[in-house]
């Protein structure tokens, strides 16, 4: 909740010094009343008035109206630190004893340091997201005290900063199409002197990527036509992220004591890692969901997959009508947490990384997929492709 300027975020509370003064005030009032000593009563009333005045100073002191927050990076991979620097003008009539950034669940506050700089207060904080997604950082929670140190309160200052946590990209070993159990893509380049218009088009089939659409031939035939991959020298890869929610079970004592990563988060990290890896090996990579709807790409225009990582940061499990046919490309990688993919087609490598049940893995292997079990270690699963279950 954002606090309006001039309003306190909490009722002032006495400090230890304030509590000690309140005890002395009470004792003086009691002793003065019992002994009939007016000077003790006056001392007790004066101490109580001082406590009340300190609380009013904290309650009514002007709140900061100007705070500047700067993120060193507004996008970081899961597990990496992001630095936030927030500066504000010193508060009149009160002292700032502490400051901390409010962070949501899924973001850890690893470090916070308050300092004075050129007449301003500055908080340097380091936050580490543990879950992908869009996280709201802030506002600041300031611990302020009156000048005598008798009363304090927590107030809020500054606005909200958004931090996007992208999936972690893991370095993967090279696994060629031959090692993966499929045939190598045709290495012959397109014949010199022939452009895309000279390639032999064929009718569109479910799973074909939109980049292969031959628009001139489509207009001529009155139906969607695509360039034949056999005539195109570009190497292509499709990575399928199945967003179907995995079945859940009641947690046992072991999982409560040592919780494992969310399977969908592991799958998303695997998709990001495989896409970036294949892109760095010269593939034009398209990432789609189980309905073959595009999520993002890694290609010459975006070789590091920045746009893809932003999209993957925000994907959530959802049930979609899955395509009945697998995509066609030189390399197809299917990543999922439940079920089995449709029968593999085409000559290239067909790889499945899955945390589904053994029955689903066996069914996928029978459908022509090279299967590797995906648990917590993405790199280990990718290495296991070499020795995975063969069709």
Range from 6-10, 33-37, 181-185 carrying the lowest mean pLDDT = 181-185
Average pLDDT over the chain, rounded to an integer: 82
Per-residue confidence at 308, pLDDT binned at 50, 70, 90? Answer: very high
- In sign, the C-alpha dihedral spanning 268, 274, 275, 277 is positive
User: With pLDDT > 70 as the criterion, what percentage of the chain qualifies?
Assistant: 81
| Domain 1-166 belongs in CATH node 3.30.1330.60 | no
User: With pLDDT > 90 as the criterion, what percentage of the chain qualifies?
Assistant: 47
Beta carbons within 10 angstroms of residue 244's beta carbon: 18
> pLDDT per residue over 256-303, tens digit each?
454 567 899 999 999 999 999 999 888 999 999 999 999 999 988 888
Give me the mean pLDDT over the 300-309 stretch: 90
C-alpha–C-alpha distance, residues 86 and 102, integer Å: 12
pLDDT at residue 190 tops 80: no
Strands 151-157 and 13-14: antiparallel
Let me know if 53 is exposed, middle or buried by CB neighbors in 10 A (0-12, 13-18, 19+). middle
Record the tokens describing residue 228, joined without a space.
Answer: 């034949």
Range from 103-107, 149-153, 382-386 carrying the lowest mean pLDDT = 382-386
The per-residue pLDDT for 117 is 66
Record the tokens describing residue 47, joined without a space.
Answer: 């101490």
Per-residue HEC secondary structure of 133-170 comes to EEEEECCEEEEEECCCCCEEEEEEECCCEEEEEECCCC
pLDDT at residue 198 tops 50: no
Classified as helix, coil or strand, 124 is strand
Classified as helix, coil or strand, 386 is coil
Give me the mean pLDDT over the 326-343 stretch: 92
Most confident segment among 8-22, 39-53, 229-243: 39-53
Separation in Å, CA 322 to CA 10, 156, 326, 364: 52, 47, 10, 15
Give me the mean pLDDT over the 30-55 stretch: 93
> pLDDT per residue over 115-159, tens digit each?
876 667 888 899 999 999 999 988 888 888 999 999 999 888 877
C-alpha–C-alpha distance, residues 282 and 280, integer Å: 6
Bridge partners (DSSP) of residue 61 are: none
Residue 58: cis peptide before it, omega within 30 degrees of 0 = no
Beta carbons within 10 angstroms of residue 45's beta carbon: 14
The per-residue pLDDT for 189 is 36
- Could you state, in order of their start, the residue ranges of all structural domains in the chain? 1-166, 167-185+235-391, 191-233
Strands 120-129 and 133-137: unpaired
C-alpha–C-alpha distance, residues 37 and 379, integer Å: 82
Measuring CA to CA, which residue among 238, 172, 195 is closest to residue 386? 172
Measuring CA to CA, which residue among 310, 168, 170, 322 is closest to residue 242? 322
| Domain 167-185+235-391 belongs in CATH node 3.30.450 | no
Say how far residue 4 (Cα) sits from the centre of its chain: 30
């Amino acid at each position: 909740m954002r606090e309006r300027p001039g309003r306190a975020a909490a009722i002032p509370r006495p400090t230890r010094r304030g509590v000690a003064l309140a005890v002395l005030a009470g004792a003086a009032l009691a002793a003065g009343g019992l002994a009939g000593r007016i000077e003790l009563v006056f001392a007790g009333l004066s101490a109580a008035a001082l406590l009340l005045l300190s609380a009013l100073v904290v309650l009514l002191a002007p709140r900061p109206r100007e705070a500047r927050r700067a993120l060193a990076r507004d996008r970081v991979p899961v597990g990496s630190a992001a630095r936030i620097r927030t500066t504000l003008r010193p508060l009149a009539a009160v002292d700032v004893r502490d400051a901390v950034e409010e962070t949501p669940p899924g973001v850890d506050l690893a470090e916070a340091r308050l300092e004075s700089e050129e007449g301003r207060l500055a908080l340097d904080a380091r936050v580490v997201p543990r879950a992908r997604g869009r996280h709201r950082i802030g506002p600041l929670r300031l611990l302020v005290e009156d000048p005598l140190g008798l009363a304090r309160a927590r107030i809020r200052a500054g606005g909200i900063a958004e931090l996007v946590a992208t999936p972690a990209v893991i370095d993967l070993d090279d696994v060629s199409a031959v090692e993966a159990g499929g045939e190598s893509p045709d290495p012959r380049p397109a014949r010199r002197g022939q452009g895309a218009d000279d390639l032999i088009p064929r009718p569109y089939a479910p799973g074909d990527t939109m980049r292969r659409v031959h628009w001139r031939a489509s207009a001529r035939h009155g139906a969607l036509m695509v360039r034949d991959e056999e005539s195109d020298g570009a190497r292509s890869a499709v990575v399928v992220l199945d967003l179907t929610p995995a079945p859940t079970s009641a947690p046992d004592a072991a999982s409560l004591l040592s919780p494992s990563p969310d399977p969908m988060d592991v799958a998303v990290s695997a998709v990001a890692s495989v896409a970036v890896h294949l892109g760095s090996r010269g593939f034009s990579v398209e990432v789609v969901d189980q309905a073959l709807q595009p999520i993002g790409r890694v290609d010459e225009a975006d070789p590091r997959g920045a746009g893809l990582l932003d999209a993957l940061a925000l994907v959530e499990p959802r049930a979609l009508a899955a395509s009945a046919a697998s995509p066609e490309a030189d390399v197809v990688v299917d990543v999922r947490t439940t079920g089995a993919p449709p029968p593999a087609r085409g000559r290239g490598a067909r790889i499945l990384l899955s945390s589904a049940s053994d029955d689903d893995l066996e069914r996928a292997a029978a459908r022509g997929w090279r299967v590797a079990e995906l648990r917590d270690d993405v790199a280990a699963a990718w290495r296991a492709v070499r020795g995975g279950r063969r069709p």
